[in-house]
Amino acid sequence: MKYSDYPYERISVEEQNELLNERLERFNNAQSADEQIAVIREVDRTRRENISYFAMASLNFKRDLRDEAAKAEKEYYDSILPAMEEIDNRWKQAVVGAPFKEELKKEWGSTFLDKLEIEMKTFDPKIMEMRKQEIDLQTEHCELVAGAQIEFEGETYNLEGMAPFQKDKDRSVRKRAWEAKFAWYEENAEAFDDLYDRMVKLRHKIATTLGYENFIELAYLRMGRIDYGPEEVARYRKQIVDLVVPVVRKLHEQKKKILGLDPLYHYDGVHFKEGNPKPKGTPQEMVVASQEMYREMSPKSGEFFDLMVDEELLDLVNREGKMPGGFCTGFPSYKRPYIFSNFNGTDMDVRILIHEAGHAFQVYSSRNQPFVDYMWATAETSEIHSMAMEFLTWPWLEKFFGEEADRYRYMHAATSFAFLAYGACVDHFQHWVFENHEATPRERKQQWLELEAVYLPTRDYDDLAFPKAGGAWQMQLHFYQYPFYYIDYVIAQTCAFQYWIRNEEDPEKTWESYLKLCQAGGSLHFKQLIELAGLQSPFEEGCLESIVEKVSAWLDAVDVDKL
Ligand SMILES: [Zn+2]
C-alpha cells in the first residue's frame, strides 16, 4: 500500500477512554497471565494505530505548512496529546501493578515494564494543562522558524534555502549569506528570547510540580535514560574537552592550508577551495543510486529501500511551505518508516538521506518486535543506526559524488569528529540553562560564549554581530523542540566510529552486528544493546581515547593535496 492510501482518521478521547476502561476491567480481573497478555496485545494494537495517526497528522502538516486542512488535523492531535498521555498513564499504572508481573516479564523480558515505570515518572494529571502549553510553545517556534523569509541577492529564501549560499566557494557570497541569515535572527531576537524564556520557566515548573528539583532529572526520564545519568555525561563531556578539542584544533590548521585562508572564519564552512563536493545528478537519480547501493549492500537493505520507493515513503526535495530539516517517522500499524528531508543541492542532501535511511532501516528491521515500544530504541541508540549507516555506505559514495567521493569521505570523517565537541557544547549549555532557570536571555548568551570558548575554541565569527554576542545557539532547533536530545548524537557518533573502524577490517561481521542492533530495536536498554552488538560503551574507560587515536591517525594519513 502506498502512503497516500493509508486510512486516516481522528481518534476521539471519549472513545479511547471507554476502550481503556473496558480493557482495564478485564485486565484487573484477569484470572491468569494469559488473559492479561491478551489484553496487553489489544492495547498495543490500538496504540500502534493511534501513533500512526499522530505521525500522519504531523507529517502531512510538515509537508505543507500552508495547507489549512492539514494544519487543523495536526492541531487537533496536538490538542488531545495531554489527554492521551493521561489515558496512557492509567494503563501504565495498571500494568506496573499487575499481579502476573513475573509471568509478563517471562513473556517479553523486563524492558517493557522498565519503560512503563520510567514513563510514568514523567506524567501526572496535575501537569496536563502545562503540557498543553508546552506543545503550543513548540508549535509557535515551528511557525516562527518555518515562516522565515530571507531576502538575498534579489530573491527570497527560507532557512533551508540559504544553505547553498552559506557553502558557496566564493568567500564573499558565504559571508553575505551568513550575514543575511543572522540578520533575520537578529530581527527576531526578541521573539526567540521571549519564547525560549517561557519554555524554560514552564519546563522547570512542570518538573517541580512532578517533585523534581529541576528539569534536568525529568528530561533524562523523558529521554528514557535508564542506565546512565548526568554525572556520567558530565565526565564524558570532560573527556571530549581533553581528547577531542586538541585534535579539532589540528584539523582547523589543516583546513587553513587546504583553503589557503588565515584566519579562518565560522562562515568558511567549506572544506575545499572549489567548494564542497556536490551530489551529481537530480534528486530522482539520487534515489536510483540509493536503491542500487542498498541492493548491493545486503538483501535486507535492498528489500527495505525498494519498498520505500515503491510505497512512496520518501519526501526529499525542498519546496516552499515545507518545514525545514530532515527526519524519519514511522507508522507502526503498517510497519513502515517514512523519510522527510529538504534537498537543496549540497553534500548534505546525501548525508541526510543516508542518515535518515539508517533510522528507517532500523524501524523496518524491528517491525516484528512484539510491542510498539520495542520498535524504537532510545535516542542515543537510534542515532547509532543512522550515524553508523553514514559510514557503512562509504564504499558506494562514488555513486553520489563521482570523482569527488574521497573529498566527501575526508569531509565526513573530519566533520563527524569535530561534531563531538559541538554536541558536547550544546549538551553542556542545556544543563546550565536548567540549573539556572532564572537566568536572563542576556546571561544565556554570555554562557553560550563561555562554553564556545571551551568546546569550540577555533570558532571566529569575524565581525558578524549576532553570533559574536552569543546568539548562535538560536539556530539549534533542539533547544526548543527536543530538549536534552543532543548528547545522544555524541554518544552515537562514538559508537558509529567503532563501526567505521571495524568495517575497514571486517565488513561482513560489522554488518552482522549492525543488523542485530537494528533488529533488537528498543527491546533492551542502551548498555545492553551496545553489549549485544559487541560495541564498547562510550562511557567506558579508554573507549573515546582509542577512537580519537584511530580517527586522528586516519585523518593525519590523508594527503590533502591529492584530494
Ligand atoms: Zn538521526
* pLDDT digit string, tens, across residues 274-307: 999 999 999 999 999 999 999 999 999 999 999 9
Element counts in the chain: helices (H) and strands (E): 25, 5
Cα torsion for 504, 506, 508, 513, to the nearest 10°? -90
What pLDDT score was predicted for residue 324? 81
Find the 170 Cα to ligand 1 centroid distance in Å: 31
Residues 290 and 285: their CA atoms lie apart, in Å, by 9
CB within 5 A of ion ligand 1: which residues? 386
Residues 222 and 229: their CA atoms lie apart, in Å, by 12
Contact yes or no for 400/289 (Cβ under 8 A): yes
Contact yes or no for 454/240 (Cβ under 8 A): no
What pLDDT score was predicted for residue 171? 97
- Picking from 535, 430, 520, the residue whose alpha carbon sits closest to that of residue 483 is 430
**Grid cell at residue 46:** 490500538
Find the 386 Cα to ligand 1 centroid distance in Å: 6
Find the 387 Cα to ligand 1 centroid distance in Å: 7
Contact yes or no for 345/283 (Cβ under 8 A): no
Contact yes or no for 329/55 (Cβ under 8 A): yes
**Grid cell at residue 194:** 521571549
CA distances from 466 to 141, 156, 178, 187, 479 (A): 19, 21, 10, 10, 18
Find the 360 Cα to ligand 1 centroid distance in Å: 10
Cell 572564519, residue located: 265
Find the 327 Cα to ligand 1 centroid distance in Å: 7
Find the 483 Cα to ligand 1 centroid distance in Å: 15
Is the bond preceding residue 125 a cis peptide, omega within 30 degrees?
Answer: no
What pLDDT score was predicted for residue 496? 98
Find the 354 Cα to ligand 1 centroid distance in Å: 10
Q: What are phi and psi of 200, to 5 degrees?
A: -60, -45
Find the 390 Cα to ligand 1 centroid distance in Å: 11
Find the 129 Cα to ligand 1 centroid distance in Å: 30
What pLDDT score was predicted for residue 13? 97
Find the 383 Cα to ligand 1 centroid distance in Å: 5
Find the 505 Cα to ligand 1 centroid distance in Å: 25
Find the 548 Cα to ligand 1 centroid distance in Å: 22
- Which of 147-171 are b and which e, b meaning 16 or more Cβ less than 10 Å from the residue's Cβ? ebebebeeeebbbbbbbbbbbbeee
Find the 87 Cα to ligand 1 centroid distance in Å: 29
Find the 356 Cα to ligand 1 centroid distance in Å: 6
Find the 484 Cα to ligand 1 centroid distance in Å: 14
What pLDDT score was predicted for residue 325? 84
What pLDDT score was predicted for residue 161? 87
Find the 103 Cα to ligand 1 centroid distance in Å: 35
CA distances from 368 to 3, 46, 112, 303 (A): 20, 16, 15, 16
Positive or negative, the Cα torsion across 86, 87, 89, 94? Answer: positive
Listed as ranges, residues in the chain with pLDDT below 70 are none
Through-space distance between the first and last CA atoms of the chain, rounded to whole angstroms = 45
Strands 336-343 and 314-317: parallel
- Picking from 275, 218, 200, the residue whose alpha carbon sits closest to that of residue 441 is 200
- Picking from 247, 297, 263, 266, the residue whose alpha carbon sits closest to that of residue 413 is 247
